[in-house]
Structure 1
Amino acid sequence: MTAVRLPQQLPRRFPLRPAVRPALCLLPLALVLVVGVRHRSVLVEGFGHLRSAEWPWLVAAVLATCLTWVAAAFTRQGAVMQRLPARRLLATQFAAGAANHLLPTGLGAGAVNLRFMTVCGVPLARSSAALALYMLAESVARLGLLIGLLIAFPGALRIGGLLPEGALAPLLLGVGAVLCAAMTTLLLVRRLRTAVSSFLRSALGEARSVHCRPARALALWGGSLAFPLLQAAGLTAVGQALALPVSPAHMAIAYLAATAAVALVPTPGGIGSVEAALVVALVAAGGPVAVATAVVLAYRIITVWLPLLPGALTLGALVRWKVI
């Protein structure tokens, strides 16, 4: 009757599990500390620029930043048929913003939202399809806004100054090589091809269902358009606060162009790459280098560093309360 020993072995395997959740709650705070120490010079300089800015415009930038989480919540709800709890959804977007700045671009927010939808009872296949639909809608809206504004203001950016001379050809070759490698792998690996085909069928089915309900479609595309517009409005407000001699429309175009380019760089929350791209874009829009740098640092303080600690605390609380 040796099989009776099985229940005695179970306690040895499972006592560690209760300790995992508290560790996960503290992990975001530890990551915030590490990121803050690594970028302490940027923080000091950014807060210095904020002290000399006009505070009404800074308040407008903070308000626009807060509204981006509302827009993200609308878009997330619009991407899935099942109704999600509104307050927890909004809190999750705030926490996802912190996670997105601690992990490579898109992975943090995607993981948090995928877990949230799964806990809310959305099957994993539909949650993944909703996540892909959200990313597609947000990308299409961002690029559509950029193209529309460039058509309306054709001289807004000096495109030649955005890339070093001779850098365009290697960049295009690199993107082409990555796409060719991905397509070759997809064609050669049958199991991967089957998985991708199954996912695409689920995603297309979810997209059809969402667009058959006007309220969901409106939330999806309205939130997708509002999100980058609010981000650009925040940068424009900071530019006004620091007297950047660039028109608001041109600053919005610079923001959209820089963030579209930075999406190809997998850094945590775009930290480092976003600052560089924004400075280059604002200079290409006609701003002086010194003022453009000050605007970008102050803007990133408001949109990244100020919400990072409370966002990490919210993330830890949501993990502890098993919301995600």
Structure 2
Amino acid sequence: MSLLPLEDAPAPPLPAARVARRALVLLPLLLIGAWAAIDWRTMYDGTARLASADPRWLLAAMLFNCLGWVCAACMRQGAVPERLPPGPLLASQFAAGAANQLLPASIGAHAVTLRFLQNRGIPLARATASLALYSLVKPIAKTAVLLVFLAAFPDLLRIGELVPDQRTSTMLVGGVALALASVAALLTAVRPLRRPLRNAVRCALTDARRLHTRPARVLALWGGAVAAPLLQGSVIASVGAALGLSLSWAEVTFAFLAASAAVGAVPAPGGIGPVDAAVVFTLVAFDAPLDLAAATVIGYRVLTAWLPLLPGALVLSALVQRKVL
């Protein structure tokens, strides 16, 4: 029987896991291309605006944005009892920021972090519990910061124009009530969901109690949660100062806090869309010119979403390729 020459022998098929990993390496770059094709006009307009801005304030905005990734890494560490390696943890949060811009409701960032925690040997139930604790602490800390602003600047911050009217308040309350009723109905109708949910809640409560007996974890979790919205507000304030916005840091930061608290629950990729419109509306309520308020928010999005997007996607692909994720 004749044998095929070595060079003519068919190559062995690649394992399915290797093919899937190669696809995941390329997926972030493909998603960036799709997003760029859809939203290129915003990127172009924002970059053109920033080209004439004060570079010193833009540098400050970029510094605050970088510190935001450090805060995210601190919060992720504070939400798990195990010690995580600082370098890979920070890299995973930088990559998670890129994934978060492509999927709504922080799904992308949570998926990246969940994979990172599992690869560090943390069981799925406990990794999921850490994500739940992280997601719970963020709005609580943001609300606390917002209340501190209201107490610290009662005269400066004119909130009367920002309070929603009765119709809007009724819609918000009705939406929350409907969401809670839907969850309750789902658990009542689908009985197999009850036991996994009880186990997840029990695991989350156990880990939360354990973490809050360790001062280092409490400081990382709650300190990062308090600092994160202040840093984001500082990014917007720095961009506004670079463009000539006359509002103070306290007014711009409060505008961001109030807007994100009001519409931050709307599931949009990275909060883009609803939060942006709300921030522009709030800045205008503080007597900022409409065109300047819009330019400030667009510049903020360019610095926080567009500029880190390609480097973040490359880091994400590298982490997948090196099996960190």
Q: Secondary structure at the match of 1:46?
A: helix
Residue 110 in structure 1 maps to residue 110 in structure 2: yes
What does the per-residue CA deviation read over 1:175-220, in whole Å, with 9 as the maximum and x for residues that have no partner? Answer: 2222222223224433222222211110010011111111111111
Shift of 1:157: 4.3
Aligned counterpart, 1:295? 296
Partners of 1:179 and 1:160 lie apart in 2 by 29
Gaps of 5+ in 2: 1-11
What does the per-residue CA deviation read over 1:19-73, in whole Å, with 9 as the maximum and x for residues that have no partner? Answer: 1111111110111111111111111110111012111110000000001011111
Residue 264 in structure 1 maps to residue 268 in structure 2: no
Shift of 1:225: 1.1
Residue 42 in structure 1 maps to residue 42 in structure 2: yes
Q: How does 1:5-44 map to 2 (within 5 A)?
A: 15-44=15-44
Aligned counterpart, 2:252? 251
What does the per-residue CA deviation read over 1:121-150, in whole Å, with 9 as the maximum and x for residues that have no partner? Answer: 011111111111111111111111011112
Shift of 1:162: 6.5
Shift of 1:16: 3.2
CA contact (8 A) 2:264 2:274 kept: no
Q: How does 1:166-185 map to 2 (within 5 A)?
A: 166-185=167-186
Aligned counterpart, 1:275? 276
Partners of 2:13 and 2:187 lie apart in 1 by 39
- Length-normalised TM-score, structure 1: 0.92
CA RMSD of superposed structures (Å): 1.9
Q: Is the alpha carbon distance of 1:54 and 1:164 closer, same or farther for their aligned partners in structure 2, counting shifts above 3 Å?
A: farther
Aligned counterpart, 2:287? 286
Shift of 1:261: 2.5
Aligned counterpart, 2:243? 242
- Length-normalised TM-score, structure 2: 0.91
Partners of 1:298 and 1:112 lie apart in 2 by 26
Aligned counterpart, 1:128? 128
Moved more, 230-239 or 261-270: 261-270
Q: Is the alpha carbon distance of 1:121 and 1:51 closer, same or farther for their aligned partners in structure 2, counting shifts above 3 Å?
A: same
CA contact (8 A) 1:158 1:285 kept: no
Q: Is the alpha carbon distance of 1:46 and 1:113 closer, same or farther for their aligned partners in structure 2, counting shifts above 3 Å?
A: same
Partners of 2:185 and 2:228 lie apart in 1 by 35
Q: Secondary structure at the match of 1:154?
A: coil
Aligned counterpart, 1:230? 231
Report the residue type matching 2:225 in the other structure: S
